[in-house]
Amino acid sequence: MNIFKEIPQIQTGDEFFETLIDHESLMIERIVSNRLQNGQWYDQDHDEWVILLQGEAALDFGDRAQTLVKGDYIFIKAHQRHRVESTSADALWLAVHLKKVIP
């Protein structure tokens, strides 16, 4: 498989989530964004590491903003409220979710 192949074409303002791996305490997603503006707010129960593989994006953390360009990555702690404020037309992300495992 290749992360850059068979990227779905989506409408302006949309996002597409594709789970690549979902295993016990780990989930990895490929996310495609096309000129997304003011995305939904997230307050997740788990930590997330995300890298922007292509395009540009801006994240909103309520009290601060973070601009990302190709190759930039960020670690988002559990319950750190955030949203995608905007993306370019060709934004491609890889998100690694570190799910909490309850024994």
Q: How far is CA 51 from CA 7, 8, 28, 89, in A?
A: 16, 19, 11, 16
Q: How far apart are CA 81 and CA 44, in angstroms?
A: 8
Per-residue pLDDT band at 1 (split at 50, 70, 90): confident
Report yes or no on whether pTM surpasses 0.85. yes
The full set of domains in the chain, from first to last, is 14-57+65-98 (2.60.120.10)
- Would the pLDDT of 103 be above 70? no
Residues 6+ apart with CB under 8 A from 47: 75, 76, 77, 78, 97, 98
Q: Mind listing the pLDDT tens digit for each residue in 32-80?
A: 999 999 999 999 999 999 999 999 999 999 999 999 999 999 999 999 9
Per-residue model confidence (pLDDT) at position 8: 93
